[in-house]
Amino acid sequence: CFPRDNRAFAALAKSVFANALLAEATDQLNNYQIERLLRICEQIAEFSFGDVPQIKLKVGILGLSYKPDTPVVECSVACALANKLICNFDVFAYDSLAMPSATQICDKRVQMVNSVDKLLYEQNIDILIIATASNSWKRNGNSKMELKQLKRLDKKCTMEIIGHHINGSCQRRILVAGGAGFIGSHLARRLLEDGHYVICADWKKNEYFQEDEFCNEFLHMDLRAFDNCLLATKRCEWVFNLAADMGGMGYIQSNNSVILFNNTMISFNMIEAARQNGVQRYFYASSACVYPEHIQTKENVAALREEQAWPAKPQDSYGLEKLVSEEMAIHYSKDFENMQTRIARFHNIYGPQGLWKGGREKAPAALCRKNRKR
């Protein structure tokens, strides 16, 4: 219904001592949407530029009428939103039927454009708000271009993902360090499916997944460098640190010094960068290699317990670094009350899209490969 119809219906209901709850709720919801969308745009600007107030994002509004396929802009949410956004954003708008009327009530700084194409692809907009049901655009124009443009618009998923991160049921900005690895990419994909905004950082690319299959952003960087760790953890709420120079036992035993140097740099720099950037929760991926090697010489041993890692005699330098970094995570959690830490000791993880050749694969994958060659 049009706004005046809602008001008339509500007045009629009151005259006969009845309630027009649906009509009243519609108006309340429309007013709420203005403030909600304004907050989302402000949060996107904060995520994009932080404390750089002189930079204005460009917002595109598709649809200005109160009701699709009409020129009526009375009580239009889109027009009211445009008038609020113009204070901090550059605003562009298009509506084939409602623009003439909208120019009379919109702030003069709101720029009206004459096609969907110009709105989407000539103004370099950063945020797109579709204020009118998208199927109405199929009827608004006679050309096939508008339908084609809407299909192209569907591929512009970046803002939709950011909006979900800000306003959806899951509101976490999460870094997965080592996100191109086997465990990291599977973890990142699960977090992405759960609606989180996922950033992966790694010094290599994933050979099985396209980046948009498991993360929103991929940072190709060396996490041994502290500045890179600071950049990767910026504005993140949670950090999962799975980054490590690792492989099977053949690789580890042939590269002890390199592994100890690389992984110590990664682990120490990552947790300190997370602390400096105010990360709330930090997960550290440890390994069964922290346990003394002599435990592995016995068959039918009882299930391992955490305290069995001490007295320390871990397996190779890989296990030594993991044990030290576990202690670092424990002490950070004790010393800095705003930062929680979690640790897991992984045991020979394997599965789909895992390494199975080249020397860095784990024992289960190596056994499968060798058995297949027989």
Q: List the catalytic residues.
A: 318
Contacts of residue 79, Cβ cutoff 8 Å, sequence gap at least 6? 64, 73, 102, 105, 106
Residue 142: CB atoms within 10 Å: 7
CA torsion sign for 371, 253, 326, 179 is: negative
Contact predicate 92/157, CB 8 Å = no
Selection from 318, 369, 317, 371 nearest residue 346 by Cα: 318
DSSP assignments along 312-370, one per residue: --BSHHHHHHHHHHHHHHHHHHHH-TT-EEEEEEE-S---TT---SSS-S-HHHHHHHH
What is the rounded distance in angstroms from the CA atom of residue 204 to the CA atom of residue 178?
A: 9
Give Rg (Cα) of the chain: 28
Fill in the DSSP letter of residue 292: B
DSSP summary character for residue 50: S
Cα–Cα distance between 246 and 288 in angstroms, integer?
Answer: 13
Residue 369's contacts (CB-CB under 8 Å, 6 or more residues apart) are 356, 357, 361
To which H or E segment does residue 165 belong?
Answer: helix 158-167
Residue with tokens 């090697």: 293
